Structure 1
């Protein structure tokens, strides 16, 4: 007998947070109408919806710009992070030499180094991409390196006994073993790339056709237009959630048939 829809684990995972979110919005709207909170302090969901509709074109263009920077930074972080991980796994000495500098970039606030990058790189878009990439690269680098190193010693000895080359060991043993770690890094890194893009936009303060959502938030703050500010924040949140869902779907597509993390 088929189970009711809401009793299925996947359906519960989808509909439970949606239902909870809708309930929060309804409570927010009703409470703030009853106590008559001024719109310049905290807007109601209906005020945010009106701002989204009335500024749809501007917000859409800004969202596209922010997502362009985010995706470029994310792809750059993947490419560089994976290549450096392959290099690290070949030699402990190389990892010992360069990993402290990777950690240095990670613990340095992007707000502190973004002005320097924007000065050094004349192309504003490229400067913003580099800033966001520096925020996003560390989870991919560390997770992939950990996965490449976490191979079964018995399998590694078996490959060596059969005179497998470094390339064969890397591609046929280490890379498949590292995939769950890699996709875990992607889920973390996609959100960090978006955060890095928004922070870099705040620092750059770019306007006009290259204005991202951060610029819209700044402008709304200067004008005390809180509905517009919340609308831009809402779009950033939705973009981050969408990226995370896409990375989770990608992980599931690659791992569901053989790795226990996606089979349960």
Structure 2
């Protein structure tokens, strides 16, 4: 037994040092990103002023802020449309990805038959597929309401982009259950669905949540790409359409304002999904427990 193990003053000193380090890291996690953002805004402003760049080529952050405030109502309406498309596409990707992952896990033949098509959807550039989708889709009558063809087309495009990460991560997670626990379930005569419910789904949850964080950003990208391809006003005029409209009218400050809203929306989606992942995993999974030490 060493002196370090027996001397309580040394133990208290180590604990105080750890607490101090945790406090510094917690403060730095907020201060450092804020400082970098402020520095980037300053450099942006200085570049525009020092080089006398015209505002229709590169507006300064002040002009972008003014455009954001002056067009807040219009941009908010467009933001609502974009976030609706993103959310619906993400929900559809979760339903389709998880459902197919469970099917692939239960049937090897189904995986061999359909997984190549999922890969093809992933590797095919969505910009090339989107115009065809918008041409061929028609209004979808669900009885209680009708989804217009352009809205449905944008949903399909965004779904294609967000679908594969959830499918691949969920499939990998369902296969990652401990083989010793699998043997234990077999010894006790567990059915296939009991093994799926009590062993494989909990084991797959961290993988699924990792894929969900990726798919959240990709669904926003897919929604924006679909809006660019649709390229018309009226119903479905999201933030991407506002960028196109602003560029046509040489209102570059408004285009930057819409672009900043898209970026902030992506950050918000990632933050919400990260919080969901932490809430579901922090009490039991090692990847989340370690971050609290």
TM-score where L is the length of structure 1: 0.95
Measured in 2, the distance between the counterparts of 1:62 and 1:111 equals 21
Measured in 2, the distance between the counterparts of 1:208 and 1:260 equals 49
Q: Is 1:188 the equivalent of 2:214?
A: yes
**Alpha-carbon contact 2:227-2:236 (below 8 Å) kept:** no
Q: Is 1:74 the equivalent of 2:90?
A: yes
Q: Is 1:115 the equivalent of 2:131?
A: yes
Change over 3 Å in CA distance of 1:115–1:35 after alignment to 2: closer
Q: Offset of 1:12 from its aligned partner?
A: 2.4
Measured in 1, the distance between the counterparts of 2:164 and 2:224 equals 18
Q: Is 1:3 the equivalent of 2:3?
A: no
Question: After superposition, what is the alpha-carbon deviation per residue over 1:61-106, rounded to whole angstroms, capped at 9, x for unaligned?
Answer: 1111000000000000001100000001112221111111000011
Change over 3 Å in CA distance of 1:15–1:173 after alignment to 2: same
Runs of 4+ in 1 over 3 A off after TM superposition: 1-6
Q: Offset of 1:37 from its aligned partner?
A: 1.4
Q: Offset of 1:209 from its aligned partner?
A: 4.3
- Structure 2 matches for 1:1-264, cutoff 5 A? 3=20, 7-8=24-25, 10-122=26-138, 123=148, 124-264=150-290
Q: Offset of 1:200 from its aligned partner?
A: 0.5
Gapped runs of 5+ residues in structure 2?
A: 1-15, 139-147
Change over 3 Å in CA distance of 1:4–1:263 after alignment to 2: closer
Change over 3 Å in CA distance of 1:89–1:60 after alignment to 2: same
Measured in 1, the distance between the counterparts of 2:262 and 2:67 equals 15
> May I ask how many residue pairs the two structures share in their alignment?
263
Measured in 2, the distance between the counterparts of 1:120 and 1:176 equals 40
CA RMSD, 1 decimal:
1.5
TM-score where L is the length of structure 2: 0.86
Change over 3 Å in CA distance of 1:258–1:56 after alignment to 2: same
Q: Offset of 1:47 from its aligned partner?
A: 1.0
Which of 23-32 and 250-259 deviates more? 23-32
Q: Offset of 1:237 from its aligned partner?
A: 0.2
Q: What's the secondary structure of 2:190's corresponding residue?
A: coil
Question: After superposition, what is the alpha-carbon deviation per residue over 1:130-175, rounded to whole angstroms, capped at 9, x for unaligned?
Answer: 1100110000000000000011111101101111011110010000
Measured in 2, the distance between the counterparts of 1:158 and 1:199 equals 48
Gapped runs of 5+ residues in structure 1?
A: none
Structure with larger Rg: 2
Question: After superposition, what is the alpha-carbon deviation per residue over 1:201-244, rounded to whole angstroms, capped at 9, x for unaligned?
Answer: 11111312430011111111112211111111100000000000
Q: What's the secondary structure of 1:261's corresponding residue?
A: helix
Change over 3 Å in CA distance of 1:59–1:5 after alignment to 2: farther
Q: Offset of 1:118 from its aligned partner?
A: 1.6
